[in-house]
Structure 1
Amino acid sequence: MADFRYFSTVRNLTLYSCLLTAILITGCTNATVTPIEPKAEAVPPPVPSDWLPITRYGRYTLVELTPQAAQHNLLLQVVDISMPTTPHATVGDGLRNVLQRSGYALCDGDSQVAALYELPLPAAHLQLGPMFLHDALLTLAGPAWELQVDDRARQVCFTPIQETSP
């Protein structure tokens, strides 16, 4: 009986030492950090060349303090939309629904664009995403329309693609 306890204790000590070694090894890794180059139009205050703006977020997570790409270019935000199931939903209703919390508005257009807005919304477009906002707008409009974006007014408009004759 004494031999069994001896081997059990040795086995447990071996397992604990392996576990402790694994924890110590993983805690000693080095990460290489590439400094972010500022854009030409923005002049940041002088900082050391090896400084990267990060903060601790939780116990083991470091987060870089820079805006995401979708925060700079709102058309890169990811949308996942379920359209309300109304019996006479139009493409214009779908476009307004997609743009609802995007920061953009649908512009009022001429009679050609009004014809696009009045088309019935296809059943295939009742669920969109996850996809970029840009792609969702082009999906709803279809291949015959080109997306025009006014970033200053934060409006999106559509123009018909001009067909070229051979």
Structure 2
Amino acid sequence: MSAASPAHPQPPGATQAAQAERDVIHTARYTLVNLTPDDALRQPLHQITRHTLQGHTKSARLTRGDGLHAWLAGTGYGLCLPVSSDSRLFYSSPLPDVWRNAGPMRVETALQAIAGLAWKMTVDEVSRTVCFVPYWQLQSGVVRG
């Protein structure tokens, strides 16, 4: 073989394995630290957490908006402003009691479950806002306000 022949191709995982080896450092004799950020650091809505929501009493009325705000706390994301009558009704509707103490689960899963099947969650990564749009608006293209 001549020196000008192309190098042998690497197996698909070889480059990733080599990269993974470089992303670990020794900080002590038996301690290795991974320099690659966890998934929850790169995508805060993927973090797993639990929440206990408390009103002043069991009969205190918590809303879906309260639940959504609680689950988004600490993620760096916020809720879209309720600009339509549908979204104002959505945020002010009662939060089921089962959500007073929920988790552990991923934040994005909890948000969609609180919203329910009639609402589609959308995330704007640039402004870090989470919005909910009724599925009927997505299907018909009609926007009520």
What stretches of structure 1 move > 3 A for 4+ residues in a row? none
Contact 1:52 1:64 in 2 (8 A): no
Q: Is the 8 A contact 1:104 1:154 kept in 2?
A: yes
- Partners of 1:125 and 1:57 lie apart in 2 by 42
Aligned to 1:64: 34
Instruction: Give, as a single letter, the amino acid of the residue that structure 2 aligns with 1:132.
Output: R
Aligned-pair identity in percent equals 36
Match of 2:104 in 1: 130
Report the aligned-residue RMSD: 2.2
Q: 1:90 corresponds to which residue?
A: 63
d(CA) in 1 for partners of 2:119 and 2:23?
A: 42
2:48 to 73, 78, 84: 78
For structure 1, the residue ranges without an aligned partner over 5 or more in a row are 1-32, 38-50
TM-score when normalising by structure 2: 0.74
Query: Who wins on radius of gyration, i.e. which is larger?
Result: 1
CA gap of 1:57–1:130, structure 2 versus 1, over 3 A, is farther
> Deviation digits for residues 12-56 of structure 1, max 9, x if unmatched?
xxxxxxxxxxxxxxxxxxxxx92238xxxxxxxxxxxxx512223
Q: What is the Cα deviation at residue 77 of structure 1?
A: 1.2
Secondary structure at the residue paired with 1:88?
coil
Is the 8 Å Cα contact of residues 55 and 64 (structure 1) preserved in structure 2?
Answer: yes
User: Structure 2: how far apart are the matches of 1:74 and 1:130?
Assistant: 15
Quote the residue 2:3 is aligned against.
none
Alignment check: 8 A CA contact 1:80 1:128 kept: yes
Q: Summarize the Cα distance change of 1:78–1:57 in structure 2 as closer, same or farther, 3 Å threshold.
A: farther
User: Structure 2: which amino acid aligns with 1:55?
Assistant: I
Structure 2 residues not aligned, in runs of 5+: 1-15, 141-145
What is the distance in 1 between the residues matched to 2:27 and 2:113?
37
- Number of aligned residue pairs: give it: 120
Cα separation, 1, equivalents of 2:19 and 2:26: 18
**Secondary structure at 1:66's aligned position in 2?**
coil
Corresponding residue number in structure 1 for 2:86: 112
Structure 2: how far apart are the matches of 1:57 and 1:81?
34
More strand by share: 2
TM-score (norm 1): 0.65
Partner in structure 2 of residue 155 of structure 1: 129
Q: RCO higher in 1 or 2 (8 Å CA, sep ≥ 6)?
A: 2
How many angstroms apart in 1 are the aligned matches of 2:98 and 2:41?
Answer: 29
